[in-house]
């Protein structure tokens, strides 16, 4: 049993890009893979092609069709807001226990399960729980994780703050992946070097459209 949670310091950073790349690389190595992005907001039929479930379905080799979104994303909301707010717009609340059970039930002994989180590490899911609480509940799957961060101005503090919270909760990520932001003030390697020095952890540079070996971190 192997479960890899892709989490982040924020939204629009590169979690989906990294999840899809990891899924493709695991499949290229002949590993059976499942993927979940259980909570997705900002999803409607018109924008489906550019959505997170579409990217994950493509990486899995499944047909990329709106009707298939439920294969990876059980809870889908139209408003492009944090999941608790997006659910509220539709008169719903996120059932945290169901979310956790859905992940536990999807994990198989002979498969790698890649789970894309939502937003940053401490995005609210309901009145009381954040993504961090969700990750803590999945520890019983011997959870491993990737922390995806950007290379924009300000990322170093966001990254080290997120990492510190993860470590205080005994959730050491396997590595930090620095996905190159569109507006980066310094060359990617400079940001990577600095993060690596402070984090004392594998820190991987992911240039725009790059394909560093991520699967190799886990197999
Ligand atoms: N390293 C990268 N190279 C090219 N495009 C990227 C990279 N990282 C992120 N993107 C693009 O930036 C946008 C936001 O990334 P995404 O993976 O969707 O972020 P998140 O899942 O964290 O919200 C997407 O269009 C994605 O394809
Ligand atoms: Mg995403």
Is 41's C-beta closer than 6 angstroms to any atom of ligand 1? no
Domains of the chain with CATH codes: 2-217 (3.40.50.300)
**pTM assigned to the model:** 0.98
Residue 194: the pLDDT is 98
What's the pLDDT tens digit per position in 113-154? Answer: 999 999 999 999 999 999 999 999 999 998 999 999 999 999
Active site residues: 37
Q: 3-class DSSP state for residue 187?
A: coil
Is 182's C-beta closer than 6 angstroms to any atom of ligand 1? no
SS3 letters for 65-114? CHHHHHHCCCEECCCCCCHHHHHHHCCCCCCHHHHHHHHHHHCCCCCEEE
Is 179's C-beta closer than 6 angstroms to any atom of ligand 1? yes
State which ligand 1 atom lies nearest to the alpha carbon of 8: 22
Residue 15: the pLDDT is 98
Residue 1: the pLDDT is 63
Residue nearest to atom 16 of ligand 1 (CA): 14
Residue 146: the pLDDT is 98
Residues 206, 16: Cα–Cα separation, whole Å = 13
Contact 144, 33 (CB under 8 A): no
| CA dihedral (201, 208, 22, 143) positive or negative | positive
- CA dist 39 → 26, 76, 147 (Å): 23, 6, 18
Longest dimension (CA), the chain: 46
The DSSP element (H or E) to which 40 belongs, if any, is strand 39-40
Distance 118 CA to ligand 2 centre (A): 7
Residue 89: the pLDDT is 97
Residue 57: the pLDDT is 98
pLDDT along the chain (219 residues), means of 10: 94 98 98 98 94 98 97 97 96 98 97 98 97 97 97 98 98 98 96 98 98 97
């Amino acid at each position: 049993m192997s479960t890899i949670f892709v989490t982040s310091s924020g939204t629009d950073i590169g979690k989906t890009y990294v999840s899809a790349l990891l899924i493709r690389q695991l499949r290229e190595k002949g590993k059976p893979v499942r993927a979940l992005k259980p909570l997705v907001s900002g999803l409607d039929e018109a924008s489906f092609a550019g959505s997170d479930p579409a990217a994950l379905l493509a990486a899995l080799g499944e047909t990329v069709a709106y009707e298939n979104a439920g294969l990876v994303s059980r809870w889908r909301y139209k408003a492009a807001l944090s999941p608790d707010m997006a659910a509220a717009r539709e008169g719903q609340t996120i059932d945290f226990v169901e979310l956790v059970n859905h992940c536990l039930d999807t994990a198989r002994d002979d498969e790698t399960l890649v789970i894309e989180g939502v937003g940053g590490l401490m995005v609210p899911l309901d009145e009381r729980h954040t993504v961090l609480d969700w990750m803590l509940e999945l520890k019983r799957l011997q959870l491993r994780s990737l922390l995806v961060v950007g290379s924009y101005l300000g990322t170093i503090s966001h990254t080290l703050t997120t990492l510190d919270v993860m470590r205080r909760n005994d959730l050491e990520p396997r590595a930090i992946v620095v996905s190159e932001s569109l507006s980066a003030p310094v060359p990617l390697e400079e940001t990577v070097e600095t993060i690596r020095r402070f984090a004392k952890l594998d820190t991987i540079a992911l240039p725009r459209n790059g394909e560093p070996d991520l699967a190799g971190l886990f197999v």
